């Protein structure tokens, strides 16, 4: 009896993106990256669309073909970075699932600071506190960071809830754990941005040690 040769599984073919659309995405990405730098350097009060366009290497008119105004541009940037950061955390939590709590928290903290090192200007925009004061000037942008903070908070809340159920953390005041860890992470980021101390990977590991030293069973 003849044997059938096994049929090799064929990986799905990625859809072909038309050249025009690829070019549009590249230009939009270049504009967003330039906006990230200019907003961080000049501040949200003073940033000029012309400076953003020049840094991106496009005409001001081209920029307005992609974004209606500064608010639309900032909103797009905040959404893009927020989605990226949430995805990084999801991946980190999934990769460390089932491991010791210290490993799980280490993966979460490392994901945050890997992104921080790659996008310091974005964090400068967030941490300078300007957005909450600019509801009138940036009505579409002002609430976006809060939305992604809530998503990240829920991710961390779930991680801590599982740790409490596994008796890896004390039950008392467990609702404070996400606030405490995020606050410690924010403090390290602020310390870096204000030039007191440049972030190093060992700082993230020490942060986890300090946190668990007060919360671990």
State yes or no: pLDDT of 2 exceeds 70. no
1 within a domain of the structure (yes/no) = no
Q: Assign 3-state DSSP to the chain and report helix, strand, coil percentages, each to 5.
A: 70, 0, 30
Q: What was the pLDDT predicted at 29?
A: 85
5 within a domain of the structure (yes/no) = no
CATH of the domain at 60: 1.10.10.60
Three-state DSSP at 216 gives strand
Q: The dihedral of CA 53, 57, 62, 67: what is its sign? A: negative
10 within a domain of the structure (yes/no) = no
6 within a domain of the structure (yes/no) = no
Q: How far is CA 42 from CA 65, 108, 125, in A?
A: 23, 31, 10
Say yes or no: 118 and 152 in one domain: yes
What 8-state DSSP symbol labels residue 176?
G
State yes or no: pLDDT of 149 exceeds 90. yes
Q: What was the pLDDT predicted at 117?
A: 94
State yes or no: pLDDT of 144 exceeds 60. yes
191 within a domain of the structure (yes/no) = yes
Would you state the structure tokens that stand for residue 156, as one six-digit string? 């961390």
- In angstroms, the first-to-last Cα distance of the chain is 64
Number of independent structural domains in the chain: 2
State yes or no: pLDDT of 28 exceeds 60. yes
Instruction: Identify whether the C-beta of residue 209 lies closer than 8 Å to the C-beta of residue 127.
Output: no
Say yes or no: 27 and 89 in one domain: no
CA dist 132 and 187 (Å) reads 19
Q: Using a pLDDT cut of 70, give the percent of the chain over it.
A: 88
Say yes or no: 194 and 126 in one domain: yes
Say yes or no: 47 and 105 in one domain: no
Say yes or no: 156 and 61 in one domain: no
Q: The dihedral of CA 115, 150, 122, 60: what is its sign? A: positive
Q: The dihedral of CA 191, 211, 100, 150: what is its sign? A: negative
**Domain assignment of residue 54, given as a range:** 17-67
Q: Which of 10-24, 72-86, 109-123 has the lowest mean pLDDT?
A: 10-24
């Amino acid at each position: 009896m003849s044997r059938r040769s096994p049929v090799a599984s064929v990986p799905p073919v990625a859809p072909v993106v038309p050249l025009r659309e690829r070019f549009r995405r590249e230009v939009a990405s270049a504009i967003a990256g330039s906006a990230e730098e200019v907003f961080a350097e000049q501040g949200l009060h003073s940033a000029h669309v012309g400076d953003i366009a020049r840094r991106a290497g496009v005409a001001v008119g081209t920029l307005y073909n992609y974004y209606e105004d500064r608010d639309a541009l900032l909103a797009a940037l905040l959404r893009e970075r927020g989605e990226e950061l949430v995805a990084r955390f999801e991946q980190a939590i999934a990769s460390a699932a089932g491991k010791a709590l210290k490993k799980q928290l280490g993966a979460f903290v490392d994901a945050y600071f890997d992104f921080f090192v790659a996008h310091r200007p974005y964090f400068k925009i967030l941490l300078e506190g300007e957005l909450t004061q600019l509801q009138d000037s940036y009505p579409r942008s002002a609430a976006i960071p809060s939305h992604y903070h809530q998503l990240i908070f829920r991710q961390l809340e779930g991680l801590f809830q599982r740790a409490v159920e596994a008796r890896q953390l004390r039950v008392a005041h467990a609702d404070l754990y996400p606030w405490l860890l995020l606050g410690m992470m924010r403090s390290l980021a602020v310390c870096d941005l204000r030039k007191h101390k440049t972030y190093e990977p060992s700082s993230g590991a020490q942060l986890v040690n300090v946190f668990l030293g007060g919360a671990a069973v």
